[in-house]
Each structure stands twice: as structure tokens, then as C-alpha cells.
């Protein structure tokens, strides 16, 4: 998608410092962090949101969870706890319509979230 912010970031078109990258995802710090650790895990494949996720993409989402686990360990929040969030739709808080996951930790997170 030519006008998608996260497509531009994940393709390298926009200068972004990745904390992790492989053939399926990129990970970078959120520009408006809500916790001491707030990373975005963004698949390189454009999928608008969870409602557009196909069964053929289940392996990709499993990979996202493995990357989240790795990033939590590398950031020292794997034992204390963390949250992995994917917002879907306007009322769900989604602002960029490219599926992505927020990895949050480094402080006690409240429930309900908002």
C-alpha cells in the first residue's frame, strides 16, 4: 500500500531505527510510549487489521508472538510481565490501518486498560 505509514517504515522507505528485523517483521520503539518499554511489532506484509487476517497468515501471527517473547527477554521484562496488544478499528483505538502489536512493560500495567 503506497500510502500506508507502516508499509513505508517496514520497507525501509522511511528512516526508522529498528531494534529487530527479520524477513517477516520489524520492531521499533513507539513514538508516544505508554510504558518504559513500548515497542511496535509490525509485519512487513500489509494486513489492514485483525478483521482482514486470513487463516493462511496464522504462521505470521505465531511468529509475531515469538518475536514478542524474544523482545520481552531482551528488554528484561519477560519475568516481571508485559502486555501484547493489537487494536482493531476506530473504537478499538487503531490509528494506523496496518496490523501491528504493541509490546508494553517495565511497570505495573492497570486493568481495565482504558
pLDDT tens digits for 100-114? 999 999 999 999 886
The answer to whether residue 11 is domain-embedded is yes
The answer to whether residue 96 is domain-embedded is yes
The answer to whether residue 111 is domain-embedded is no
Q: In this predicted model, what pLDDT tens digit does every residue of 80-95 receive, in sequence order?
A: 999 999 999 999 999 9
63 sits in which H/E element: helix 58-74
Q: In this predicted model, what pLDDT tens digit does every residue of 28-82 receive, in sequence order?
A: 999 999 999 999 999 999 999 999 999 999 999 999 999 999 999 999 999 999 9
User: What is the model's pLDDT at position 29?
Assistant: 98
User: What is the model's pLDDT at position 2?
Assistant: 75
CATH code of the domain containing 10:
3.30.428.10
**100 counts as catalytic:** yes
Which member of 38, 46, 52, 100 is catalytic? 100
Claim: this prediction has a pTM higher than 0.85: yes
The answer to whether residue 114 is domain-embedded is no
Burial class (CB in 10 A: 0-12, 13-18, 19+), 58: exposed
Residue 47 structural domain? 5-105
User: What is the model's pLDDT at position 104?
Assistant: 98
CB distance 40 to 96 below 8 Å: no
- Counting the structural domains of the chain, the total is 1
- The 10 Å Cβ neighbour count of residue 18 is 15
The answer to whether residue 68 is domain-embedded is yes
The answer to whether residue 33 is domain-embedded is yes
Amino acid at each position: 500500500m503506497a500510502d500506508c505509514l507502516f508499509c513505508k517504515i517496514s520497507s525501509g522507505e522511511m528512516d526508522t531505527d529498528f531494534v529487530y528485523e527479520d524477513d517477516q517483521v520489524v520492531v521499533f520503539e513507539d513514538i508516544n510510549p505508554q510504558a518504559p518499554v513500548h515497542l511496535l511489532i509490525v509485519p512487513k506484509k500489509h494486513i489492514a487489521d485483525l478483521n482482514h487476517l486470513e487463516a493462511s497468515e496464522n504462521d505470521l501471527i505465531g511468529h509475531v508472538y515469538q518475536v514478542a517473547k524474544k523482545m520481552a527477554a531482551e528488554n528484561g521484562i519477560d519475568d516481571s510481565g508485559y502486555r501484547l496488544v493489537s487494536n482493531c478499528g476506530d473504537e478499538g483505538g487503531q490509528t494506523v490501518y496496518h496490523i501491528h502489536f504493541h509490546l508494553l512493560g517495565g511497570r505495573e500495567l492497570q486493568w481495565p486498560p482504558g
